[in-house]
Amino acid sequence: MYRRRRGWLREALGRVSHRLFEGKRSPSALARWETERSSIQLWSRHGFDVPGLIDAPPPPELEGELFSWFEFVPGRPLFWHLVDPEVALSEKLTLARQLGRDSRR
């Protein structure tokens, strides 16, 4: 579930600040929801095992709220792959560069 973190005025000013001065997307609930969904879809297209988005209605108490349902994906998180001494440094650097490049889209 994605909710506003601040009052509407501080959130509006934050959107301007993030976009103009920091070159980032807004921290608004809608922007976080869109970023998470688009990131999951992007990683999936590039062959990463990511949770699928499940199209299901929200529980009654969340009606009208932004939310996402994700499936469970067994496996090792990327963090553990990056700190694994058995994985070559060159592979770790390639993954880290790809993550950084793809996350800026």
pTM: 0.49
Residue the block writes with tokens 């601040």: 6
In tens, the pLDDT along 18-52 reads 566 666 666 677 888 888 888 888 888 888 778 88
Enumerate residues 6+ apart whose C-beta is below 8 A from 74.
none
Measured distance CA(75)–CA(98) in Å, rounded? 20
Q: Please tell me the predicted confidence (pLDDT) of residue 21.
A: 64
Distance CA 66, CA 31 (A): 11
Question: What three-state secondary structure class fits 37?
Answer: helix
Phi, psi of 57 (to 5 degrees): -70, 155
Q: How do the domains of the chain map onto residue ranges?
A: 1-74, 75-105
Interval 43-83: pLDDT, tens: 888 887 788 888 888 888 888 888 888 888 787 888 888 89
Residue 98: per-residue pLDDT: 83
